[in-house]
Amino acid sequence: MGSLYVWLKFLHLTGLGLFLFGHGIAGGASFALRNRPAGEVSRALLQLSIWSYRIAYPGLALLIVTGVVMGFEGSWWGRTWLWVSIVILVIVFGLMTYVSIPYHQSRDAAKEADSVLAERLGKTRPVLATWIGAIGILLLLFLMVFKPF
């Protein structure tokens, strides 16, 4: 029914789909919260964003674990494209963590007064986060598909 590598690739892509789906919910919520007055709808969107990581993080874990195993199964660890992919993943993760600090602070402030929540939401940068994530995903997809070096 197929080699181990094919199954790992299937699980790798499943992890990618789960991660993008879950993370997309949080990203969509961050765009919906832009220039929105703080209130119950904002708090509900922030709760949805928190909930979405129940999908995104297991997907990311599956993606990373299968990627590492595929590196061994495919004997890719000696290839430069794999190491460049890891560096890109680490850089994107670091940038996204930094850029999302105000968003995470907004989620933490969801139980505070509307004025505090509105101030925190005003500092978020969903467009920048989207560009960082999109460029990172495109670079990683390019490296995974073409394995240029």
Q: What is the pLDDT of residues 93-108, one digit of tens each?
A: 999 999 999 999 998 8
User: Rounded mean pLDDT of the chain?
Assistant: 94
Give the integer Cα–Cα distance in Å for 7 and 29.
Answer: 33
Number of domains in the chain: 1
Q: What is the pLDDT of residue 103?
A: 92
The yes-or-no verdict on residue 34 having pLDDT over 90 is no
Q: What is the pLDDT of residue 45?
A: 94
The yes-or-no verdict on residue 1 having pLDDT over 80 is no
Give the integer Cα–Cα distance in Å for 145 and 106.
Answer: 37
What is the domain extent for residue 32? Answer: 4-146
The yes-or-no verdict on residue 2 having pLDDT over 70 is no
Which amino acid type is present at position 10?
A: F
> What average pLDDT does the segment 29-44 reach?
90
* Stated pTM of the model: 0.90
Q: What is the pLDDT of residue 6?
A: 96
Q: What is the pLDDT of residues 82-93, one digit of tens each?
A: 999 999 999 999
Residue 113 phi, psi dihedral angles, 5° rounding = -60, 155
Q: What is the pLDDT of residues 47-74, one digit of tens each?
A: 999 999 999 999 999 999 999 999 999 9
The residue to which tokens 């922030």 are assigned: 46
Residues 6 or more apart whose Cβ sits within 8 Å of residue 130: 27
> What average pLDDT does the segment 20-48 reach?
92
